[in-house]
Amino acid sequence: MNRLLLCTLLLVSCAKSPMVRYQTPIMGAFDPIIVTDADTTPRQLHPGKCKYVPETYIINKEYIAYQDCDTIRRLVTADLASFKRKGGFAIDKNGVYYKGNLICTDAIGFKILTYKDNHGYLWRTDKKIFFAKKELSLADPATFEPIGEAWGRYFKDKNNLYYYDQKVEGADISSLNVERRFFEDFIYDKNHIYYQGKPLMYQGESVEQLSGLLFKTTKEVLQADFSGEEEVIFTPITGDFDIPTLRELSFNFMIDKHHLYLVEESSYCQMPTTKLDLSKVKAYERYIYDGRYLYRGEQKVREYDPATFGIFQCSYDLYQYDKYGIYAWEKKLPFKIKRTPVYGKNLFSVGDYIIYENQLYITKEYSLWHDPYVKGLTQEQVQLLKQGKHVHRSHQGKVLFVQESYDSKYYKADNQLYYMEKPVQGVDMATFDPYFAPNFYRDKNHVYLCQDGVHVVKGYDNSTLQPVFGDFLMDKDYLYYKTQRLFKSKEVSLLAIYQGAAYEHKLPDFYLFKNAEGYWSVCPEKMTEYEFDDKGDFYYYTQYFVNVEFLGTEFKEIRQSKD
């Protein structure tokens, strides 16, 4: 007989438990002050999959605690003065903490390298490499480094290749390579393609990737099936191939001495070309030039000049060019073309920027706020862009080179704080601290809330204000959630963070605090409202609510189950 357990977490106290609800006004429509007015609102707390928010370090004045899914415990060995959170880890003068367990090692050079699904983190210090809690026995830990993109699967030292923490036998270190066209579990050397750290073989012969899911040996063209967790299944496919000369041109095209082929994942088709001159064939992602015509897939393309056509990547998208212009696929960008664009000569892409001679096009989403096209750059500005300097445009059209970026909308330029394209007045940049707390800046005069703009917050005791955890702040008198005063901060400690049923019921996490008065439950909620203005333009604003319940001077929690 199946039994369904329905668990309800009850917070039980010895005194009446008033529940208060705080609401933050719409940001940007007011001069922020500490919100103190409240209403009584009943609320029931529903537990999530875990009792506590897992893998969380809680730092209090007197002690440090670690909580995982169902337990919470104090870290008696932790050094309060030097203890710092590092992602899902923590470090202090004694070593590195992994899932609340102290690993006695020098923490200098601590860095998380990658995460292996359901197995743990691969991480390092200056002198040692670890997988989860285990130190790896490597001949040369100092040269251990990732191959390819960050948070990848393959690593190497001066002697060996590794798939996560496992040594790959027989790999040729000097010829290792990773390309974006390969799957995430792929790497290759001059002898083999490796998948999940093992060489790909078919009937005792090493395979060569042609394109997508198509491979070959000296005798067969193969379709690969990677749907299994570990084993790769190869199926021979038939076709009019000349296997000795069959090779890849790009991710979407392959060629032999007779034909061009368009590849779509595991299928292919022969291109409608005749009198193929191999010396003139040029392949680019979805485009190919056969010496006479330019094709997009199987279709001839007549919008571009084939002889001067080229393609390049900027940010995460592909762009095209010919002697007539520069394009985002079919859309012609607003560059004024005087000389034929040639990528690497007078046309460049750096990050989110396309630079053609003395003109700039900003491709990132921010450019939707105003004209992304900039003309009339000086040679000095062009060089700064090519060196990777970030740029914004002011509301007056001035080109601003970013001195420091705090996120996509907040940055420092010309020694002044900007929000989007407008300067923020009155900020003392000499004492400005953009990393004071999440969504909060400060200088010697003010504390600023950064939400849909930069707002001075009035009501804190600025001289004693400090971040506590997440969006909680504290001064000598009170504990706050953002701009909402909760209760007195005397002897305050964060005891636990309970996991709300975020996936089942879309309820947020809630926090258990203790101060000199007793125990408190705090449950912040975020609500985003969407509206249209008089012109029909869409916009949104965010409201925050905090449910605060005083639980009394004594506290215990009870889990009740129902069959």
Residue 121 lies in a domain: no
Q: What value does the mean pLDDT take over residues 241-266?
A: 87
Q: What is the pLDDT of residue 6?
A: 25
Tens digit of each residue's pLDDT (9 = 90 or more) over 364-392: 765 545 678 889 999 999 999 999 888 87
Tokens of residue 29, six digits: 């429509």
Residue 545 lies in a domain: yes
Q: Which residues pair with 42 in a beta bridge?
A: none
pLDDT > 70? residue 477: yes
Higher pLDDT, 534 or 83: 83
pLDDT > 90? residue 324: yes
pLDDT > 60? residue 104: yes
Lowest mean pLDDT among 204-213, 261-270, 291-300, 318-327: 261-270
State the Cα–Cα distance between residues 223 and 232, nearest whole angstrom.
10
State the Cα–Cα distance between residues 475 and 458, nearest whole angstrom.
13
pLDDT category at 503 given cuts 50, 70, 90 is very low
Tokens of residue 309, six digits: 């056509």
Spatial CB neighbours of 295, under 8 Å, sequence gap ≥ 6: 271, 287, 288, 289, 301
Report how far Cα 134 is from the mean position of its chain's Cα atoms: 27
What is the total residue count of the chain?
563
| Cβ atoms of 558 and 12 closer than 8 Å | yes
Domain of residue 524, residue span: 459-562
| Cβ atoms of 514 and 60 closer than 8 Å | no
pLDDT > 80? residue 168: yes
Residue 160 lies in a domain: no
Tokens of residue 63, six digits: 């002690």
Tokens of residue 224, six digits: 């690969």
pLDDT category at 535 given cuts 50, 70, 90 is low
pLDDT category at 529 given cuts 50, 70, 90 is low
Parallel/antiparallel/unpaired status of strands 154-156 and 161-163? antiparallel
Q: What is the pLDDT of residue 371?
A: 76
Choose the final residue of a domain: 299, 317, 341.
299
Q: What is the pLDDT of residue 161?
A: 93
| Cβ atoms of 5 and 519 closer than 8 Å | no
Residue 439 lies in a domain: no
Q: Number of structural domains, the chain?
A: 3
| Cβ atoms of 130 and 136 closer than 8 Å | yes
DSSP string, 82-124: T-EEETTEEEETTEEEETTEEE-S--TT-EEEEEETTTEEEEE
The strand order across the sheet containing 399-405 reads 391-393, 399-405, 410-413, 416-419, 422-423
Residue 166 lies in a domain: no
pLDDT category at 171 given cuts 50, 70, 90 is very high
Residue 353 lies in a domain: no
Report how far Cα 406 is from the mean position of its chain's Cα atoms: 15
Spatial CB neighbours of 2, under 8 Å, sequence gap ≥ 6: none
Q: What is the pLDDT of residue 40?
A: 34
pLDDT > 90? residue 4: no
The SS3 assignment for 506 reads: coil
Residue 290 lies in a domain: yes
Average pLDDT score over the chain: 82
pLDDT category at 23 given cuts 50, 70, 90 is very low
State the Cα–Cα distance between residues 103 and 416, nearest whole angstrom.
44
Choose the final residue of a domain: 278, 299, 320.
299
pTM greater than the 0.75 cutoff = no
pLDDT > 80? residue 318: yes
Q: What is the pLDDT of residue 79?
A: 94
Nearest to residue 434, comparing CAs of 232, 366, 160, 419? 419
pLDDT > 80? residue 353: yes
Residue 205 lies in a domain: yes
Q: Which residues pair with 201 in a beta bridge?
A: 206
Choose the final residue of a domain: 265, 299, 333.
299
Lowest mean pLDDT among 158-162, 177-181, 494-498: 177-181
Give the per-residue SS3 of 189-248. CCCCEEECCEECEECCEECEEEECCEEECCCCEEEEECCCCCCCEEEEECCCCCHHHCEE
